[in-house]
Amino acid sequence: MKLPSLRIPPIVEPTFEFVMRLVERVFGARVARVVRRPFKVFGGREGREWRTVVLTVLAVFVVVGGIAAPNAVSGGVLMNYLVGLAFTMSVFALLALGLQLQFGHGGILNLGLIAFAGLAAYTMGIVWKHAGQGLADAITASPALQGTVLLVIGLAGAAFSTPIVGLAVQRLRPHAPTRAKRIVVVGAAGLAGLGAASLFLPLDGMRARDAVIVLGLLAGIAAAAGLALLFAVPAIRLRTDYLAIVTLGAAELLEAFYRNEQWLTGGTQGIVNLYNPITEHALTNDWWQNFVAWVSPDLKAAPAAQLLIALLALVYFYILFEALVRSPWGRVLRAVREDDAVAAALGKDVNRFRLQALMLGGVAIGAAGILIALRPSNIYPGYFDRALTFSTFVALVVGGLANNKGVIAGAAIVLVALPELARNLRFLEAYGIQNVVGPGQGIAAGLMLILFMMYRPQGLVGRKEELQYG
């Protein structure tokens, strides 16, 4: 029995071709060519994949919003609901994007991915809980401390802007002399660093608190990268299945740590009343308030700001990772995934590439973890449990492996549509079946994983030729 492969029926392309043929008939071939030109971007394989992703996301939001619409009291309520869903989707897409680099491109089956998110969030939370306002006051009081903090923030700003500036320069002036490009990149990154630091001037009151959270965030991301190093010591040389077991166990251990070390992490009560700079600024910034009111009078300023930040983070890491996997580094990484012996024979340091993929992916996952914690401004161990690892995995497989676009569609389906649709299982409670929402979602996710693996292993937009399994 050979398993048939499911095809997504082509709808968009024939329609587009049909319209273009009409245009050609009516206005002539020249006009048709001009009209076609902007649509070239959406042509070919890339375009097809983007269309699938965009259509999936739209379909998810239309269906979920349509189901919620009759219950919403007003358009504003519905809008805020959808903004919340979009935030969830962006954050989980970021989570899955990190996993995509680790597993989809690097072949590292990281079943402990939630450890990265949890560690980053908890590091930030611990910095706030144990240093917090005290550190903010100390910063306000001491000019030397202010200088140090501004230096750290400036350096971080420069470091995070460097790859984006570099990519932009390479895209706009690919043939300029390397030295000139280098000077431009360093200069622009320096400016970005100065800009980032100047945002925090003068460093007192609210800005000092912001600075503490930013320091915590940097510490969290560093911790996520450090965790990758720690994982790598025993695990990086191992076979995929061993690696999965070790990472799963390590994540479990970390979760036990969050739950039990009350003095540090607050135990099961978690860390509450985290200072959330996004909310604070959204509620005090007139410009943002006006902008949100202009979009819609009902829209709430804080969730919209969180959505904006989450989207920016997703776009940042997407651009970065997309450039990475298209670069020679990405090609070597895929070679390592396909056959590490061959890559090693060609003189590549296999474990180094794996470690880099694990660290970079871990940074994205850590950033997602921080966003997960910042939305409700508290951190509980339950946010970062095994269930989230598994659903992120399902999202990755459903979206498609080895294609960064897939994570967006996967997150929309598995982490937005499934939970929202599962809520409608409540009607079963009338028949005496209690507690059906969460498990119903789990069963649907599990079935989705099994069925996709069996009948469409490349997922929605995955690369069939890059499949790691037959």
* Residue spans of alpha helices (H) in 28-74: 29-39, 44-68
Q: Does 259 bind other proteins (CB under 8 A)?
A: yes
Task: Name residues whose C-beta falls within 8 Å of residue 254's C-beta, 6 or more positions apart in sequence.
Answer: 112, 115, 118, 119
Could you tell me the CA-to-CA distances from 228 to 91, 106, 231, 371 in Å, in that order? 20, 14, 5, 20
Nearest to 324 by CA among 264, 402, 386: 402
Pseudo-torsion of CA 56, 50, 309, 79, nearest 10°?
Answer: -30
Q: Does 241 bind other proteins (CB under 8 A)?
A: yes
Number of H helices, E strands in the chain: 21, 0
Q: Does 99 bind other proteins (CB under 8 A)?
A: no
Q: Does 434 bind other proteins (CB under 8 A)?
A: yes
d(CA 78, CA 7) in angstroms, rounded, equals 34
Stretch that binds other proteins, among 17-25, 142-150, 193-201, 443-451 (CB under 8 A): 443-451
Q: Does 267 bind other proteins (CB under 8 A)?
A: no
Residues 346-385 close enough to bind other proteins by CB under 8 A: none
Q: What's at 469, amino acid-wise?
A: Y
Number of residues binding to other proteins, judged by CB under 8 A:
51
Stretch that binds other proteins, among 115-123, 322-330, 347-355, 390-398 (CB under 8 A): 390-398
Nearer to other proteins by Cβ, of 201 and 453: the residue is 453
Q: Does 414 bind other proteins (CB under 8 A)?
A: no
Contact 239, 228 (CB under 8 A): no
Task: Give the residue, chosen from 394, 414, 460, 461, that forms a contact with other proteins under the rule CB under 8 A.
Answer: 394
Q: Does 240 bind other proteins (CB under 8 A)?
A: yes
Instruction: Give the shortest CB-81-to-other proteins separation in angstroms.
Output: 26
Task: Give the residue, chosen from 117, 332, 445, 461, that forms a contact with other proteins under the rule CB under 8 A.
Answer: 445
Instruction: Please name the helix (run of DSSP H) or strand (run of DSSP E) that holds residue 372, with its range, or none.
Output: helix 350-374
Q: Does 398 bind other proteins (CB under 8 A)?
A: no
Task: Give the residue, chosen from 74, 144, 239, 328, that forms a contact with other proteins under the rule CB under 8 A.
Answer: 239
Q: Does 289 bind other proteins (CB under 8 A)?
A: no
Instruction: Give the shortest CB-108-to-other proteins separation in angstroms.
Output: 11
Q: Half-sphere exposure (CA, 13 Å, Cβ side) for 377? A: 11
Q: What's at 113, amino acid-wise?
A: L
Using DSSP's 3-state secondary structure scheme, residue 151 falls into helix
Binding interface with other proteins (CB under 8 A): 1-3, 109, 111, 234-235, 238-242, 244-246, 248-250, 252-253, 256-257, 259-260, 386, 390, 393-394, 397, 433-436, 438-443, 445-450, 453-454, 457, 468-470
